[in-house]
Amino acid sequence: MPRIQLTLPTDKAAGVFADFVRAWHTKDSFILDFSAYMEPAMRDEAADDIVQQSAVVSRVRIPPAQVFELMKALEQQLSAWESENKS
C-alpha cells in the first residue's frame, strides 16, 4: 500500500462540529452523514415521541474496502482516548 501524504487546507483546519452521525450504504460506498442539532428537542404529541431537528454539516462517502481501515483506526483512537482519560 502506498504511503499517503495528507494536505489540510487552511479553511478546513477548524473542522465542523457534529452531534450525530448516520451511517448507511449503497452497493458501491458507505455514506456517513454528520449533523448538528438545530434547536432543542421537542415533543411531537401526535406521534407520542421526541423529535430532534438536525442539519447535515458534512457527508463523507468511502469505498467498502476502506471501512475496515476506518474501523481499525477508530478502535485504536478510542483505546488511546480511554487510556488517557481514565479517572
Q: Is residue 4 situated within a structural domain? A: no
Q: How many domains does the chain have?
A: 1
Q: Is residue 5 situated within a structural domain? A: no
Model confidence band, residue 2 (pLDDT cutoffs 50, 70, 90): confident
Per-residue pLDDT reduced to its tens digit, 8-61: 999 999 999 999 999 999 999 999 999 999 999 999 989 899 999 999 999 999
Which residues neighbour 18 within 8 Å (Cβ) at sequence distance 6 or greater?
34, 35, 36, 57, 58
Extract long-range pairs of 33-36: CB within 8 Å, 24+ residues apart. 33/58, 33/59, 34/58, 34/59, 34/60
Q: What is the mean pLDDT of residues 65-83?
A: 96
Q: Is residue 8 situated within a structural domain? A: no
Q: Is residue 77 situated within a structural domain? A: yes
Domain that holds residue 51: 18-84
